[in-house]
Amino acid sequence: MYLTGAEVVMESLVREGVEVIFGYPGGANMPIYDAMMNYPIKHVLTRHEQGAAFAADGYARASGKVGVAMATSGPGATNLVTGITTAMMDSSPVVYITGQVASSLIGGDAFQETDVTGITLPITKHNYLVTSAAQLAETIREAFYIARSGRPGPVLIDICKDTQFEKVWFEYSEEEVVLPGYKPPLHATKQSLDAAVKLIQNAKRPVILAGHGVLMSGAMGELAEFAEKTQTPVALTLLGLGAFPAGHPYHLGMMGMHGTAHANFAIQNADLILAFGMRFDDRVTGTLHTYAARARKIHVDIDSSEFNKNVKVDLTLLGDLQTVLADLNPIVPKLQHPEWLEQIQAWKQESAQRDILYWEQNGKLHAAHVIHDFWKQSLGEKIVTTGVGQHQMWTAQYYVQEKPYRLITSGGAGSMGFGTPSALGAWFANPDKEVWTIEGDGSFQMSLNELATLKQENANVKILLINNGFLGMVRQWQEFFFDKRYAATPITGPDFVKLAQAYDVPSIAVNQRDQINGALEMAQRTYGPVLIEFQVEPEDCVYPMVPSGAALDEMLLRPIKVNA
């Protein structure tokens, strides 16, 4: 059948199973929006293109499908850039479709012309400029395959406006996509598996570092089997939280700059590090020359570019993590490490004595109290997204993850403003569930315009707003390292309750701990968006904290329990 290029786009998206698109129309993508009216795909009009990019990312992470965001040329396309970067850093499968000026105008500085493929080349897994309708169907098919396969990531398709009008015969192949030179690996070699078994057998103090790759490959069961068979404790990256149950006796919690003290001590004293689907990010390692210096290191990943990039390792296993562990588990022997587990338990007990939850309150409301009480009241069952800052780290610490795919946050890019729009996307992936976003007053003010989108869609998204009157994480660094010179970190905001009410979103403010459960219950009784503002202690800090340039075990720790 003959279709316009715009119709080819929509027909191809339907064939790829797309059910929802987040976007914003404009002159250069108007034909696609016109064609959209005739197709069974839900469009969500965000209030900013960055919101669309974050929402598509949240949808992808919560659904396991490829997210889709759409924008026009020029500023519409460039407004996607932070969201594309976020998806790239966190290996999130999203296809971004942008309009472009007519092919005859490219290079002439036409109105709203921007070289978006040039801009996004370093922050996409692949991108395309389409100048002929005959290229569209195959380009879209390839884009979705690239986004979801191997190590997932964002792909951008820039489509000229005249291409969208051009008529072409439409065919959509059902055959598997084959791209020359691109074949993501599945199985590690037998030689590398055998070498791994020898290192594992000889270890006395092993530690597993479980990253986002565990969740992306669906290797949670294989990870648990390996940990239990070899008696190996498991520390997790921020994006790996949920990959190993928090209640498991071998669970160490989050590692790194704001990880648990016992996880960091275990890593620094290990004699074998097993890195499963993680990339040795600087927030995980501390200073590199002191990182796990006494440990041999095994790195399992589907992306060979991560091997020896930051941390030099003794053995690499290239392949899909679930497949590699499925191959490794039958050949690794049962092992026991009682003395090592006993040492770790002692570190855990000391960590507990420093937890602010066990301090006297004296009427003060701390963010940790809020998030802990929310976790307890909700039984840890909610899908939770976050913005970026102190509230993000407190969420990682106190909203305990027993199950996978419940926490959605911006890790590698650390993009403020991610929380609310990503929650919108997560809700469209799970419309039968209640989704919460834990926001900070600084991060929320970067995307609070999406309150309008939440209301327009009647999305069952609840906003738990931690308001401490500061750009809290930057202020914390200023407190520790800049003599409390709070340069540009005190931040004012609107009356958040009145702001939400102006959007016709129910809201309430809380400043006492005994008010927390009542506010949470009100939100849960109300279908649709709700905002709860928690006015917390302004100068609280996230502990532990590994200072910049310090070794992983040189943490700043909250003092042992005192009566505050």
Residue 245 in domain: yes
Q: Which of 19, 30, 112, 376 is catalytic?
A: 112
Q: Based on the domain organization, do 367 and 390 belong to the same domain?
A: yes
Q: Based on the domain organization, do 145 and 235 belong to the same domain?
A: no
Q: Based on the domain organization, do 259 and 408 belong to the same domain?
A: no
Residue 273 in domain: yes
Residue 396 near residue 258 (C-beta atoms within 8 A): yes
Report how far apart, in Å, the C-alpha atoms of 10 and of each of 40, 59, 272 are. 9, 19, 51
Q: Based on the domain organization, do 98 and 162 belong to the same domain?
A: yes
Q: Is pLDDT of 487 > 70? A: yes
Q: Based on the domain organization, do 396 and 489 belong to the same domain?
A: yes
What tokens were used for 264?
């960091």
Which CATH number characterizes residue 232's domain?
3.40.50.1220
Average pLDDT of the residues in 101-110:
96
Q: Is 483 left (phi over 0), alpha (psi -120 to 50) or beta?
A: left
Average pLDDT of the residues in 485-492:
98
Q: Based on the domain organization, do 257 and 380 belong to the same domain?
A: no
* pLDDT on residue 253: 98
Task: Please say if 170 is a catalytic residue.
Answer: no
Closest by CA position to 55, among listed 454, 338, 495, 337: 454
Q: Which of 42, 111, 339, 433 is catalytic?
A: 111
C-alpha count within 13 angstroms, C-beta hemisphere, residue 379: 1
Residue 354 in domain: no
Q: Which of 49, 113, 142, 439 is catalytic?
A: 49
Of 139, 169, 199, at which residue does a domain stop? 169
Give the whole-angstrom CA distance, residue 148 versus residue 302.
13
Closest by CA position to 242, among listed 409, 384, 404, 410: 404
Q: Whole domain around residue 57: which residue ranges?
A: 2-169
Average pLDDT of the residues in 70-75:
98
Q: Is pLDDT of 564 > 70? A: no
Give the whole-angstrom CA distance, residue 323 versus residue 184.
12
505-532 confidence digits (pLDDT tens): 999 999 999 999 999 999 999 999 999 9
371-393 confidence digits (pLDDT tens): 999 999 999 999 999 999 999 99
| Total H helices, total E strands in the chain | 23, 20
Closest by CA position to 357, among listed 397, 407, 403: 397
Stretch (H or E) spanning 57: helix 49-63
Q: Which of 65, 113, 144, 161 is catalytic?
A: 161
Residue 477 in domain: yes
Q: Based on the domain organization, do 393 and 331 belong to the same domain?
A: no
Q: What residues are paired with 20 via a beta bridge?
A: 42
Average pLDDT of the residues in 115-127:
98
Task: Please say if 138 is a catalytic residue.
Answer: no
Residue 561 in domain: no
17-37 confidence digits (pLDDT tens): 999 999 999 999 999 999 999
Residue 562 in domain: no
Q: Is pLDDT of 562 > 80? A: no
Q: Is 372 helix (H, G, I), strand (E, B) or coil?
A: helix
DSSP 134: G
- The DSSP bridge pattern shows strands 2-4 and 20-23 to be unpaired
Buried-state track 130-151, b at ≥16 Cβ within 10 A, e below 16: bbebbbbbebbbbbbbbbbbbb
39-66 confidence digits (pLDDT tens): 999 999 999 999 999 999 999 999 999 9
Task: Please say if 473 is a catalytic residue.
Answer: yes
Residue 103 in domain: yes
260-278 confidence digits (pLDDT tens): 999 999 999 999 999 999 9
Residue 553 in domain: no
Of 312, 328, 349, at which residue does a domain stop? 349
Average pLDDT of the residues in 78-86:
98
Task: Please say if 166 is a catalytic residue.
Answer: no
Taking only Cα atoms into account, the Rg of the chain, rounded to an integer number of angstroms, comes to 24
* pLDDT on residue 561: 67
Average pLDDT of the residues in 286-290:
96
Q: Based on the domain organization, do 154 and 234 belong to the same domain?
A: no
Average pLDDT of the residues in 64-89:
98
- The DSSP bridge pattern shows strands 530-535 and 461-467 to be parallel
Which residues make Cβ contacts (< 8 Å) with residue 160, sequence separation at least 6?
Answer: 100, 101, 102, 103, 106, 129, 130, 131
Q: Based on the domain organization, do 237 and 372 belong to the same domain?
A: no
What's the domain count of the chain? 3
Average pLDDT of the residues in 93-98:
98
Q: Based on the domain organization, do 150 and 35 belong to the same domain?
A: yes
Q: Is pLDDT of 534 > 60? A: yes
C-alpha count within 13 angstroms, C-beta hemisphere, residue 349: 6
SS (H, E, C) 447-486: CHHHHHHHHHHCCCEEEEEEECCECHHHHHHHHHHCCCCC
Average pLDDT of the residues in 189-214:
98
Which CATH number characterizes residue 25's domain?
3.40.50.970
Q: Is pLDDT of 563 > 70? A: no
Give the whole-angstrom CA distance, residue 87 versus residue 93.
7
Q: Based on the domain organization, do 305 and 373 belong to the same domain?
A: no
Count of C-beta atoms within a 10 Å radius of residue 326: 16
Q: Based on the domain organization, do 456 and 512 belong to the same domain?
A: yes
Task: Please say if 49 is a catalytic residue.
Answer: yes
Largest CA distance in the chain: 76
Residue 134 near residue 113 (C-beta atoms within 8 A): no
